[in-house]
Amino acid sequence: MRNVVIVGAGLTKFGEQWKKSFREMITEAAVSAILDSKLEGKDIEAIYTGTMATGKFIGQEHIGALISDRLGLNPIPSTRLEAACASGSVALKQGYLSIKSGEHDIVAVGGVEKMTEVGVHHASSALGGAGDQETELFHGATFPALYALLARAHMKKFGTTEKHLAQVAVKNHENGVDNPFAQFRNRITIEHVLNSSNVSSPLKLLDCSPLTDGAAGLILMEKQKALDLGLDAVEIVSMAQASDSLALTGRKSLTELNATKQAGKLAYKKAGITAKDIDIAEVHDCFTIAEILAIEDLDFVKKGSGGNATMSGFTAKNGSLPINTSGGLKAKGHPVGATGVAQAVEISQQLLGKADKRQVKGLEYGLTHNVGGSGATCVVGIYRRA
């Protein structure tokens, strides 16, 4: 089995992109990644793209063919992958496996979503398909309600407070200020979060990630080939994926996401490290409670202590384990199909020392954690500088 590295990364600005189409965004991210890699389009042997609900958001399916055509890369194989909000990481995992297996030497991985051209009700319905339509969405349980249930369970069992949740948003907005690609680059306070409108108690508006347009791209290559070419590279040390019940009613516990625990455990094992070796991480904070669950389920902190750890500054950019230096889904934005790829962009930039004002020093290992739905799919990746 061969080793795989990231040699190029690209992003569009995340936000409400009224003047850019779906195809323009994925082209921009892909071209940026190719230019960053110092390769050419003709070097790419396959494309893997994550996107969740293009049929509902923009009325377009057959995304793989659209992207290869748009990039002028026919006739190479181009595949679209979907795993709800984990679509980007599933695409990254497939690109990684295609090189690791020897099928390809150089591939492009992308993630894209254009979410803001439909109304909020239509967007909520499209996103609700990532949960169980029959037992959840049909009865009115959209994702804010499902994560509110997780938050309530955590609060009841461990004493987590609304201020603990709010601090996640405050910290991630602080990080987003220094990210030129972030949707929100404004600082907020705990009071701002607590005084924002209720969405699904205890979650307020500022506890929730936004609807976002955006795209991200990566160029992957077989490691020795990249080293022979003298390219700056970040190695994908391991990738692991796990599944759980689609609906919350099938879960054994509402205070943990078992898919995260299993994917994390397998990723650490494959990499030959433990959670204590991770120096920086991008985790899936679609709601503030999701980040608290993630840092616990990935064994960064003891179960139940995620709120206090966040409040203490443990996860701040200058803390013991910086989490979501990009601003996370909360501030950077959450174009669902692009999120997993964008997380890997941030970690690769950090490990290469290219994160500008967000840069954290002394890094060896980075981690990405991308969740689909309310935790039915999870992909965890571990990275280090090659």
**Spatial contact of 280 and 362, defined as CB atoms under 8 Å apart:** no
- CA–CA dist 106, 45 (Å, integer): 6
What pLDDT score was predicted for residue 140?
87
Residue ranges of the chain with per-residue pLDDT less than 50: none
For the stretch 343-373, pLDDT in tens is 999 999 999 999 999 999 999 999 999 999 9
- On whether the pTM is more than 0.75, the answer is yes
pLDDT tens readout for residues 199-252: 999 999 999 999 999 999 999 999 999 999 999 999 999 999 999 999 999 999
Q: What's 220's DSSP letter?
A: E
Class of domain 4-118+212-234: alpha beta
In this prediction, residue 124 carries a pLDDT of 87
Domain range list for the chain: 4-118+212-234, 135-209+237-385
Nearest CA to 147 out of 98, 193, 196, 209 is that of: 209
> So what's the pLDDT on residue 125?
86
pLDDT of the residue at 119: 84
**Mean pLDDT over the full length of the chain:** 97
Q: pLDDT at position 246, please?
A: 97
- Respond yes or no: is residue 334 known to be catalytic: yes
Catalytic annotation present for 284: no
Contact 98, 48 (CB under 8 A): yes
> What is the rounded (10 degree) CA torsion for 307, 287, 345, 51?
150
Give the H or E element holding residue 201: none
Fold of 135-209+237-385: Peroxisomal Thiolase; Chain A, domain 1 (3.40.47)
Matching fold, domains 4-118+212-234 and 135-209+237-385? yes
Sheet strands side by side (includes 47-50): 78-81, 47-50, 106-113, 214-222, 4-11, 234-243, 377-385, 365-372, 280-282
- Among residues 85, 208, 286, 378, the one annotated as catalytic is 85
Among residues 154, 173, 284, 334, which one is catalytic? 334
Per-residue pLDDT, 243: 98
